[in-house]
Copies of this chain bind each other. A is one copy, B any other.
Amino acid sequence: MSHTQQILETHPRALQIDLGVLAACIDCCFECVQSCTACADADLAEPDVDTLIACISLCRNCSDICASTGTVLSRQTEFVPDLARVVLQACIEACRKCGDECERHARHHEHCRICAETCRRCEQACKDVLSALPT
């Protein structure tokens, strides 16, 4: 059990979403913050950096959006499903676009391959929370 699941389990109020689905998504968001930051940085050190401009830019955006998604989902005291919904939709779009671009470079750059996987995982985890949101 991740520390995220542990700490959410101790929340004084009843969660509005399945604990496992929520914790998995939060973990994926922070994993994606890290991998997108590291991929954008590694891109800068590649000899073909000029072919990686879109990758760097999408990674930077994806990292920032995943960071705010991870913290918003970590707050369950006054959880607002309508707000979570639009935040998740933004995160899904960011991960999809970044995952697509990283995948294009996956054969030449191992960091892009790993980052594409992290983005796909985060995209799916956000969709899972979206489906689990109370209506």
Contacts and interface: CB of A to CB of B under 8 A. Distances in A.
B93 A86 contact: yes
Interface size on A, as a range, is 35 or more
A34 B75 contact: no
Q: Is the interface of A mostly helix, strand, loop or mixed?
A: helix
Given A45-B12, A75-B57, A3 B89 contact: no
Given A90-B89, A94-B83, A77 B33 contact: no
Given A46-B12, A77-B57, A78-B57, A71 B33 contact: yes
Nearest 5 CB-CB pairings of A with B: A57-B78, A10-B110, A86-B90, A64-B68, A41-B75
Given A37-B71, A80-B97, 20 more contacts: A3-B31, A3-B34, A3-B114, A7-B111, A7-B115, A11-B38, A12-B42, A12-B46, A33-B71, A37-B70, A41-B57, A44-B57, A44-B78, A45-B77, A53-B78, A63-B71, A64-B72, A65-B68, A83-B90, A87-B90
